[in-house]
Structure 1
Amino acid sequence: MRRRVLVLVTATTTLVLIAFLVPLALLVRTVATDRAVATATAQAQSLSPLVATADREALALAVGQVDATTPADVTLFLPDGTVLGAPAARTPLVQLGSRGVSASGEVPGGREIVVAVRDATGAGGAVRAFVPDAELTRGVDRSWLLLAGLGITLLAVGLVLADRLARRLVRATTDLALVSDRLARGDLDARADAAAPAELGVVARALNGLAGRIADLLREERETVADLAHRVRTPLTSLRLEVESLPPADAARIGAGVDAVQRAVTAAIEQARRRGADPAACDASAVVAERVAFWAVLAEDTDRELAVELAPGPLPAALPRSDLEAVVDALLGNVFAHTPDGTSLAVRLDAEPAGATLTVADTGPGIPADAPALDRGVSGAGSTGLGLDIARRAAERSGGGLRLDSPGRGLRVVVTLGAPGRS
């Protein structure tokens, strides 16, 4: 942008200077020529009265004095053929002047000016003044150099002013881009400079207003989610009290489920109150192993064959522990909710250079090709439709993603998790 502004100012200023300086330069040359011709003509005309009144000796002295004091070569052609002053040939203009016609014209090397004169007897003669080219253009070169210097100076001043303006515009534009990028990364405290020039200031104020509105909406959303999650704690407490009255085996199993729900509620409150900080890291191998062990009890009760293949840890993933637990629970919960009892499933965790890959596969009916499996809040199986979307969003926050494969029979969900520092 800065370069384009400078190019535009350079082109515009150059055109203006050319339109102004070229005619002025031509005018300077014309004025210099007219001045030299006018001076020579006046000197030649000053001899006209002397031709009719002065004697030959006085006339010769007068012509010599005029020739010596003027840059032009002055010559007097008398009617009797005598030539006084600077030596010169009888040119056609001189012959025309002897017949009583004054004239001037361009000749090789300069300009010839002829003034017709008459002596005391009325016979015609002529005064010739020859102005050389050097005299016709005296001072023109220096004037042109001054004009060129003036043009360069004006152009330089214009470029300096344009550069300062362009720097300010570029700085304001860059500031807007940086603030937009910070807002996109979750830094809702970022604000643009509202004092930016012209329309950029309007955009900066609008961006600041948008950032403030987004912050207000997110704050309201966080508080709403936190309040809802906090309200769930009351029925959970009642449920825990009821669990204590059950037989020990059932109490332990159901109590573990209540604890899991309690952890999910606590994680929801913490996540709702978080302010766009960088995601924490966890050991994916340990988290997946723990959650698979939890679901293995239910798999045994429903006659499901569970195959587990986990890469040895530690295997860092750019997700908080609670988020990764939610991913595993969502994927395994979908298998138990949408496949019949006895359906086998497999969980595999592989280490990758950029993080880890979690694969959950089952031999159930799979997902139809036209099913909106990844549309948030939409499900073709009567559920809330949030499970796979929760897993997808968590994976994307880590720098990874989620992919569904339905190889004719069953479903394979592949979740890639980014490593800390790469998300």
Structure 2
Amino acid sequence: MRARLALLVAAVSVLIVIAFLVPLALLLRTSAEDRATARATADAQGLAPVVGTADSETVRLTVDQLVQSGRPVSVFLPDGNQLGSPAPRTPAVVLAARGQSLTAETPEGREVVIAVQGRTEGTAVIRTFVPNAELTSGVDRAWLVLSLLGLLLVLIGLAVADRLARTLVRPIGELSAVSHRLANAELDARVEPSGPAELREVGGALNHLAGRIQELLVQEREQVADLSHRLRTPLTALRLEAESLADPQDAARIAGAVDGLERAVTGLIRQARWRTPADGAVVSDAVATVTERVAFWSVLAEDTGRAVDLDLAPGPLPVGVPADELEAAVDALLGNVFAHTPDGTAFAVRLVPDGDQVVLTVADEGPGIAAESVRRGASQAGSTGLGLDIARRAAQASGGRLELGERPGGGAEVVLHMGAGRS
């Protein structure tokens, strides 16, 4: 923007300089020519009374004195004699001999001829010549001064334009910087309104928008936290029911599930209320988390007659996903297998490193899954449609991605690419 303003001001300044200085330069040249012509004419006219009344010898002496002073003057007498500086009898001299004074232009300069009447033998002609060097004397220096003056004016205009551009660009740069900070979840970023009234108004509007975003985000977090907190009551009831079971194994199993659910609710409350997107990256061990969650689902797999093929690389495999989010992603993928395939359908879980990523693959021998199901809220089986989206967001948070495909022999295959964490 500064460069464009400078270019605009430079163009306008140059046009103004051309519009004013070029006519002024031409006027200076014309004035110099007129001054030189006027001096030559005055010298010739001063000689006219002598030429018109004195004898030839007096005229010759007077003309010689004028020639010695540096003025090229010639006098053509009616009898054909020529006095002073040698000069050709030009058409202007011939015309002046008929009684007409004039000024004629020549390639070498300007010729001034004056007809002098009063001599008994006829009309005499006084001729003086002004060369081009005398006509333009001082013009080059004046043009140089005008050029320097024009250049100075353009530079001053550029300096003023640059200062003006700074007053515009600096507030715009601050607005851009605060916008990027807000985009990076620095919701406390604010701009100090400055510059023209319009930019100050934009700065105030941006600050108001940032404040409003903070308010809405706080309200959303509190609502999620409140909703999660309400789940504690039915969880407590489930715990009491589990403790009242007669079979200790069933009681322990159900109590463990309730404990896991309670931990998930607690983590959700903590995440909703205190964690911000600007928090530092959290690293978790993918091997430990996947092993734990597969063990949890293996109990249900055994009850429903499902074979589980588990292939885990030697751990640990750190990933840039918090443990609770990774647990939720794995539960979502395994839960889809149980929810959308009939009992007895085998599934496989594979976890391997792949360069700077860790790849989790969950495949089953069911009917497959449509690619559009990864869209949040979309489901073809009457569920909430959030499972795959939870897994996708967990992968993207670590710099990875989610891929849906089909196994060569039939069935769905979900591949979760997660960025490797740095512990």
TM-score (norm 1): 0.91
1:269 corresponds in structure 2 to: 269
- Which stretch of structure 1 is more off in the superposition, 37-46 or 85-94? 85-94
2:330 corresponds in structure 1 to: 328
SS of the counterpart of 2:374? coil
Q: Equivalences for 1:175-324 in 2 at 5 Å?
A: 175-197=174-196, 199-246=198-245, 247-273=247-273, 274-276=275-277, 277-324=279-326
Q: For the Cα contact (< 8 Å) 1:99–1:125, is it kept in 2?
A: no
Q: For the Cα contact (< 8 Å) 2:402–2:414, is it kept in 1?
A: yes
SS of the counterpart of 1:96? helix
2:99 corresponds in structure 1 to: 100
- Aligned: 1:400 with 2:390: no
SS of the counterpart of 1:312? coil
Alpha-carbon deviation of 1:123? Answer: 2.3
Amino acid corresponding to residue 89 of structure 1 in structure 2 = P
1:414 corresponds in structure 2 to: 415
- Consecutive unaligned residues of structure 2, counting only runs of 5 or more, are none
Aligned in 2, Cα 1:57/1:313: closer, same or farther, shift over 3 Å?
Answer: same
Alpha-carbon deviation of 1:239? Answer: 2.1
Deviations 1:92-121 (A, max 9, x none): 212222221111112242111001112343
1:100 & 1:318 partners in 2: Cα distance? 110
2:291 & 2:405 partners in 1: Cα distance? 23
- Which stretch of structure 1 is more off in the superposition, 5-14 or 293-302? 5-14
1:303 & 1:278 partners in 2: Cα distance? 42
Q: For the Cα contact (< 8 Å) 1:72–1:132, is it kept in 2?
A: no
- Which stretch of structure 1 is more off in the superposition, 201-210 or 329-338? 201-210
TM-score (norm 2): 0.91
Deviations 1:161-190 (A, max 9, x none): 333344454444443333222222211122
Alpha-carbon deviation of 1:202? Answer: 4.0
2:71 & 2:65 partners in 1: Cα distance? 12
SS of the counterpart of 1:152? helix
1:26 corresponds in structure 2 to: 26
SS of the counterpart of 1:360? strand
2:197 & 2:6 partners in 1: Cα distance? 19
Q: Equivalences for 1:53-92 in 2 at 5 Å?
A: 53-69=53-69, 72-92=71-91
Alpha-carbon deviation of 1:250? Answer: 0.9
1:11 corresponds in structure 2 to: 11
Amino acid corresponding to residue 283 of structure 1 in structure 2 = D
Amino acid corresponding to residue 280 of structure 2 in structure 1 = D
Amino acid corresponding to residue 127 of structure 1 in structure 2 = I
Aligned in 2, Cα 1:331/1:213: closer, same or farther, shift over 3 Å?
Answer: same
Amino acid corresponding to residue 421 of structure 2 in structure 1 = P
2:356 & 2:200 partners in 1: Cα distance? 42
Amino acid corresponding to residue 292 of structure 1 in structure 2 = V
Alpha-carbon deviation of 1:405? Answer: 1.0
Alpha-carbon deviation of 1:217? Answer: 1.0
Q: For the Cα contact (< 8 Å) 2:171–2:193, is it kept in 1?
A: no
2:39 corresponds in structure 1 to: 39
1:107 & 1:84 partners in 2: Cα distance? 22
1:288 & 1:404 partners in 2: Cα distance? 19
Identity %: 59
Alpha-carbon deviation of 1:300? Answer: 1.4
- Which stretch of structure 1 is more off in the superposition, 397-406 or 198-207? 198-207
1:134 corresponds in structure 2 to: 133
2:131 & 2:397 partners in 1: Cα distance? 88
1:167 & 1:350 partners in 2: Cα distance? 55
| Runs of 4+ displaced beyond 6 Å | none
SS of the counterpart of 1:278? coil
Q: For the Cα contact (< 8 Å) 2:221–2:272, is it kept in 1?
A: yes
Deviations 1:229-261 (A, max 9, x none): 122122222322222222310111111111111
1:297 & 1:87 partners in 2: Cα distance? 131
Amino acid corresponding to residue 418 of structure 2 in structure 1 = L
1:86 & 1:198 partners in 2: Cα distance? 76
Q: For the Cα contact (< 8 Å) 2:103–2:113, is it kept in 1?
A: yes
Q: For the Cα contact (< 8 Å) 2:78–2:121, is it kept in 1?
A: no
Alpha-carbon deviation of 1:55? Answer: 4.5
1:24 & 1:40 partners in 2: Cα distance? 24
Amino acid corresponding to residue 104 of structure 2 in structure 1 = G
SS of the counterpart of 1:373? helix
Figure out how many residues of one structure are paired with residues of the other and give that number.
418
- Which stretch of structure 1 is more off in the superposition, 32-41 or 232-241? 232-241
2:81 & 2:114 partners in 1: Cα distance? 16
1:117 corresponds in structure 2 to: 116
Amino acid corresponding to residue 156 of structure 2 in structure 1 = V
- Which stretch of structure 1 is more off in the superposition, 51-60 or 380-389? 51-60
SS of the counterpart of 1:291? helix
